[in-house]
Amino acid sequence: MSENTTITVAYGDGIGPEIMSATLDIIKAAGAMIDIEVIEIGEKVYLKGIAEGIEPSSWQSLLKTKVFLKAPITTPQGGGFKSLNVATRKTLGLYANVRPCVSYHPYIETKHPVMDVVIMRENEEDLYAGIEYRQTDQVMQGLKLITSPGSEKIIRYAFEYARSNGRKKVTCFMKDNIMKITDGLFHKLYDKIGEEYPGIEKETWIVDIGAAKLATSPESFDVIVMENLYGDILSDVTAQMTGSVGLAGSANIGDKCAMFEAIHGSAPRRAGQNLANPSGLLLGAVMMLAHINQSEIASKVHNAWLKTLEDGVHTYDIYRDGISKKKVGTKQFSGAVIERLGKKPETLKTVNYKDFDVKTYPHYDYRNITPAKKELTGVDIFLHWREGSAKELGEKLKNISVEGLKLTGISNRGVKIWPGGLEETFCVDHWRCRFEGNAVTFDMIISQLEKFKNEGYDFIKTENLYTFDGEKGYSA
């Protein structure tokens, strides 16, 4: 029986096929024990009219092998196409996106010679739920969904990763001074889960100033855990700070499956010219080898790659006169890494992977958690309205409350404008009208909507107001 692990491989678009061939050549030469199933994804599949960019049959391979090495793809411009990356991460439950960003000073030019940061990005939630609406002529809405199981999983993964990889600190970036409920939950769970890891230093930053500090003093960070959108943006910034976005790999880890890729895209302008740097995908493949318990081969490849960088053999994106020795194309670069298999870097830090099993720690079972005492205390009714001023709307609406509900406030773009608003506040055609009461029922809310309908108001959405164990579950 073969000891090989079967993996699914997609060559992708743009520079994808070139960097995938280079990566596979290197890891095979290093002795990777893998069998490969190739699937087609990306542009060609989209253009066949498959909105997800992947053939239904390809899922069978992924569900069987559970390990996916994926080159970047091009998402065609225009509506109707769904992001394959988002779909794959969500369908396979790949909740943790691990993006190590390391400086290779003095061999690769960077403003930050001391830098070894792992961006730990939540991978399934946040604005990437992709639930968006046009609500009025002027207003579009995207839902930011942050869940307790989703946040717990990524935060716990960050601490577990830190512990098993000898990392000292896990920092959390969020913005709970503004998003008190969503980012507030992420922060609270970080504090709570962090208590279980006394040996690891903890630190929180509001994401804006945290990002500024990261951009100027990356040496003060180690592992940084954050929600999906912040992680998407900041991992590109952090990778670029090391010298090139082409240098960073990424692991997408779930309980059952995992996907490995470069963090960059398909760079279509560089495609087919033997120019692209395969390093990002190669380092993704190295993490894959550690994941499938071939850590010795992972270390062998990574160290040969470091030696190649040290020897000044560089692709165009990292080539600098005076620092680099030889400018090479994709194929020559992979050849240079293959020649150095078995060698170790002389000054850069040698890498020594351990096999790591990401499935060994339990999550809370949220299905068994006692539900909070939930009480309905009112409703926000959103109107599409442009017939007058905030004051006029307030005066009209206060007279149409049903029994048991009282209009307590109207806001526009989150600013309270009735009662007592200012004329100066700029208003759009989207009004949030809050009705509150005691012992509120669904029937009262339905009667209130009936009243709006009869008075000719265009209500575009409602949001029920609940307390959970007495604590307000909505913003003030």
CA distances from 383 to 62, 300, 412 (A): 45, 62, 10
CB of 233 to ligand NAD, least distance (A): 12
Q: Which CB sits closer to ligand NAD, 11 or 452? A: 11
SS (HEC) of 349-389: CCCCCCCCCCCCCCCCCHHHCCCCCEEEEEEEEEEECCCCC
Helix axes 295-310, 330-339, angle to 10 degrees: 110
Q: Which CB sits closer to ligand NAD, 38 or 400? A: 38
Q: Which CB sits closer to ligand NAD, 73 or 405? A: 73
CB of 38 to ligand NAD, least distance (A): 16
Q: For residue 361, what are its two tokens?
A: 């720690």
Half-sphere exposure of 120 (CA within 13 A, CB side): 27
Dist. CA 186–CA 177, nearest whole Å: 12
Dist. CA 22–CA 333, nearest whole Å: 8
On whether the CB atoms of residues 12 and 72 are closer than 8 A, the answer is: yes
Dist. CA 68–CA 291, nearest whole Å: 11
Residue 126: phi and psi, rounded to 5, are: 70, -150
Whether the CA torsion 108, 218, 223, 10 is positive or negative: it is negative
CB of 61 to ligand NAD, least distance (A): 18
Angle at 21 between CA 56 and CA 42, to 5 degrees: 30
CB of 115 to ligand NAD, least distance (A): 19
CB of 275 to ligand NAD, least distance (A): 7
Dist. CA 446–CA 449, nearest whole Å: 5
Q: Which CB sits closer to ligand NAD, 73 or 92? A: 73
Q: Which CB sits closer to ligand NAD, 266 or 448? A: 266
CA distances from 396 to 316, 401, 417 (A): 66, 10, 14
Q: Which CB sits closer to ligand NAD, 284 or 378? A: 284
CB-count exposure of residue 166 (10 Å: 0-12, 13-18, 19+): exposed
Applying CB under 6 A, the residues found at the interface with ligand NAD are: 15, 19, 72-75, 85, 245-246, 261, 264-270, 276-277, 280, 317
CB of 288 to ligand NAD, least distance (A): 15
Q: Which CB sits closer to ligand NAD, 328 or 444? A: 328
Q: Which CB sits closer to ligand NAD, 313 or 383? A: 313
CB of 271 to ligand NAD, least distance (A): 9
CB of 331 to ligand NAD, least distance (A): 13
CB of 84 to ligand NAD, least distance (A): 7
Q: Which CB sits closer to ligand NAD, 15 or 341? A: 15
CB of 25 to ligand NAD, least distance (A): 16
- Residue of this chain nearest to ligand NAD (CB atom): 265
CB of 301 to ligand NAD, least distance (A): 17
H or E element that contains 461 = strand 458-468
Q: Which CB sits closer to ligand NAD, 74 or 103? A: 74
Dist. CA 22–CA 434, nearest whole Å: 59
Which residues are CB-neighbours of 253 under 8 A, at least 6 positions away?
94, 95, 96, 97, 98, 157, 291, 358
CB of 9 to ligand NAD, least distance (A): 14
CA 95 to mean position of chain CA atoms: 8
In 3D, which of 176, 166, 171 has the Cα closest to residue 146? Answer: 176
On whether the CB atoms of residues 363 and 153 are closer than 8 A, the answer is: yes
CB of 83 to ligand NAD, least distance (A): 8
CA 217 to mean position of chain CA atoms: 23
Q: Which CB sits closer to ligand NAD, 126 or 317? A: 317
| DSSP H helical ranges for 92-147 | none
Q: Which CB sits closer to ligand NAD, 157 or 319? A: 319
Q: Which CB sits closer to ligand NAD, 158 or 239? A: 239
Dist. CA 327–CA 324, nearest whole Å: 7
